[in-house]
Structure 1
Amino acid sequence: MSAPIFLNALRAFEASARHQSFSAAALELNVTPAAVGQLVRSLEEWLGVPLFHRGSGGRARLVPTDVALRALPDIRDGFDRLNLGFARLKEGSAVGVLTVTVSPAFAAKWLLPRIDRFQSAWPETDVRLDTSLKLMDFATQGIDIGVRYGAGNWPGLEAEKLMDEEVFPVCSPAFLDKHRRLRGPADLAGLTLIDDLSVDRQIGFVTWDAWLETVGKKAIAARSGLKINNSAAVLQAAIDGRGVALARSVLVRDDLAAGRLVRLFPDIVRPSVLAYYVVYRKECAALPRLVAFRDWLLGEACVD
């Protein structure tokens, strides 16, 4: 495949067409307007066709010709592809920015309390967290690696299991002291049950109804319910004594260790069919920054 010629001239032409001005294009490209004009003229001479209708004044001093308008979409697409290729060359470096996508709750309750250990080991890697519940397109949105919660199957991504999870009720020590009768699931009747709405029920997420059915207490009616669409906020509400939350073991681990929350009915074990997975594009699996972060995540999970 032959390399494109007149690359700088094409850049000058595209910028001039977008701004309809050599001066504005020059500001973008950090050159003089005369240099932009000369590059465009050299391209026109080589092609043998005019690329602009040049007016003497007014807003329409530089208007792309029909042939220029037909070519511009392909030229812009070409520059986008060049930029993507250059970004992939940069990915091969062990230093630079590593873009990581995680849910807001996972970031707040698990990743951020531990991230300083990665940064100490890899001080030349800058971690950029993209916290969102949306499924990001890794290629188009510049994502290097992520942690997702689910069944382990996401099209176009490799998935390595990071941590399994268990689901159980928790409350604050003060709440438990106030409701000393909380010795079994039946004692939840009449209490406020805090429900997590952040995960899609269709993929097997354990809700209060599912958990109560597991322990044979499906008929329990809560006096009132509190529904929150953020898992970290669900735990915070329980810490604040708002009621009993159905906690996910990975997210609640530090709160239990610190005594901010207490696990209820520890003899009842309800594993989740969902788990946390490290995910990344297969073609990026050997990138040094990605490998370092993936191995660190797996190591931290083993420590926990």
Structure 2
Amino acid sequence: MARNSPVYLNALRAFEASARHGSFSGAGEELNVTAAAVGQMVRGLEEWLGMPLFQRTATGKTRLTLTENAERTLPDIRAGLDRLGIGLERLRDSATGGILNVTVSPAFAAKWLLPRIDRFQGRCPDTDIRLETSLKLVDYRAQGIDIGVRYGDGNWPGLVAEKLMDEEIFPVCSPAFSDLDNLTEPADLTRTTLIHDLSVDPAIGFVTWDMWLQAAGVPEGQPQRGMRIDNSAAVLQAAIEGRGVALARSILARDDLAAGRLKRLFPAVQVPSKLAYYVVYRAEYASLLKLRTFRDWLIEEVTRLRS
């Protein structure tokens, strides 16, 4: 390849993704091409540069360890790709419409966002929402995410996090729950079927039944039979269907409580969560009109609920 040939964007993206994932296969999954195609693009870039980018074994097989030169220049390449991506987004943002890539948890999507999204789309009919629902903390750069709502402590390196909503944790059940009349004090919960939410790790401060019962003055070591579910929306649905008492997150349970599908138990016991909901985005994308519009709409929705 001639020395004055252009460096193709796809080859640079393949190199950056390979360095970040540590493998051609991981980069291929991100870029939706085969590992062999990624390797070919990286080798073409190496030929154009006249130097290797990854150290190789004696057999010539690539071990994805950056060479010293590649490691030194990778931050500049990464920053350049970021700036190019932002520039393209701003070009697209200057026109009407476009796609907004949003990430939220499946439960937040089902119980909070989707019941309200029509109001955003009524305001911005030319903006299409592409919703990515996952319990995993997705890589905004790799997944092409513009903005999201995350549940946690507000600390996600490399991302701006603005608090959206605080939360309280409390027990709920169906008004028709067969054991409801026997639940006259918190200790009675140890003798009924409890529904456990496994979707959030207690290690980061998520309130569990043990923690709530302790806060309610119930001695430790009491039995807690019941079912365990790894989706907060499914936890609430199981309670609505009368399968037991769920430990609800106030934001997700709000609409079901207002509609009478759920009943809050022991409201005198108040256990605020250490975790909260945050609007999360990359700082360099903060000026995008579609991002600002969606962020402002989220805040307006929360204000509407408080009024």
Task: List aligned pairs for 1:1-304, cutoff 5 A.
Answer: 7=6, 70-71=47-48, 81=81, 84=85, 87-90=88-91, 92-93=93-94, 95-175=97-177, 178-219=179-220, 221-222=222-223, 224-304=225-305
- Provide the C-alpha distance between the structure 1 equivalents of 2:47 and 2:118, rounded to a whole number of angstroms: 51
Distance (Å, rounded) in 1 between the aligned partners of 2:294 and 2:44 = 48
Q: Percent identity?
A: 60
CA distance in 2, matches of 1:104, 1:282: 25
Question: Deviations 1:42-62 (Å, cap 9, x if unpaired)?
Answer: xxxxxxxxxxxxxxxxxxxxx
Q: What displacement does 1:199 show? A: 0.5
SS in 2 for 1:286: coil
**Structure 2 stretches of 5 or more lacking a match?**
12-39, 54-73
The answer to whether the 8 A contact 1:91-1:287 is kept is no
**Structure 1 residue 137: Cα displacement:** 1.6
Match of 2:235, SS state, is helix
Structure 2 residue matching 1:283: 3-state secondary structure: helix
Structure 1 residues 206 and 283: alpha-carbon distance in aligned structure 2, compared to 1, 3 A threshold: same
Moved more, 86-95 or 191-200: 86-95
Larger radius of gyration: 1
CA 1:166–1:84: 2 relative to 1, 3 Å: same
Alpha-carbon distance in 1 for matches of 2:241, 2:44: 67
Partners in 1 of 2:183 and 2:210 — Cα distance? 18
Give the C-alpha shift of residue 125 in structure 1.
0.6
Q: How has the CA–CA distance of structure 1 residues 191 and 67 changed in structure 2, closer, same or farther, with 3 Å as cutoff?
A: closer
Could you tell me which residue of structure 2 aligns to residue 25 of structure 1? Answer: none
- Assess if the C-alpha contact under 8 Å between 1:102 and 1:130 holds in 2: yes
Q: In the aligned structure 2, how far is the partner of 1:204 from the partner of 1:256? A: 24
Q: Name the CA distance, whole Å, in 1 between partners of 2:264 and 2:92.
A: 43
Letter in 1 for 2:143: Q
Matched to 1:120, the amino acid is G
State the partner residue of 1:43: none
TM-score (norm 1): 0.73
Q: How far did 1:87 drift?
A: 3.6
The change in CA–CA distance for 1:158 and 1:181 in structure 2 (over 3 A counts) is same
Structure 1 unaligned runs (5+)?
15-62
SS of residue in 2 equivalent to 1:107: helix
Classify the secondary structure of the residue corresponding to 2:236: helix
Q: CA 1:277 to 1:6, structure 2 compared with 1: closer, same or farther past 3 Å? A: same
Query: Structure 1 residue 88: deviation in Å?
Result: 3.1
Structure 1 match to 2:35: none
Q: What secondary structure sits across from 2:237 in the alignment?
A: helix
Question: 1:124 deviation in Å?
Answer: 0.8
Measure how far apart 1:67 and its partner are.
8.2
Show the counterpart of 2:28.
none
* SS of the residue 1:238 aligns to: helix
Give the deviation of 1:84 after TM superposition. Answer: 3.4
Q: What residue identity is the alignment partner of 1:108? A: A
| Number of equivalences | 245
Shift of 1:179: 3.0
2:192 maps to a residue whose letter is: L
Distance in 2 (alpha carbons) for counterparts of 1:294 and 1:122: 13
Root-mean-square deviation (Å): 2.8
Residue type at the aligned position of 2:48: A
What is the CA distance between 1:6 and its match in structure 2?
A: 5.6
Q: Report the secondary structure of 2:136's partner residue.
A: coil
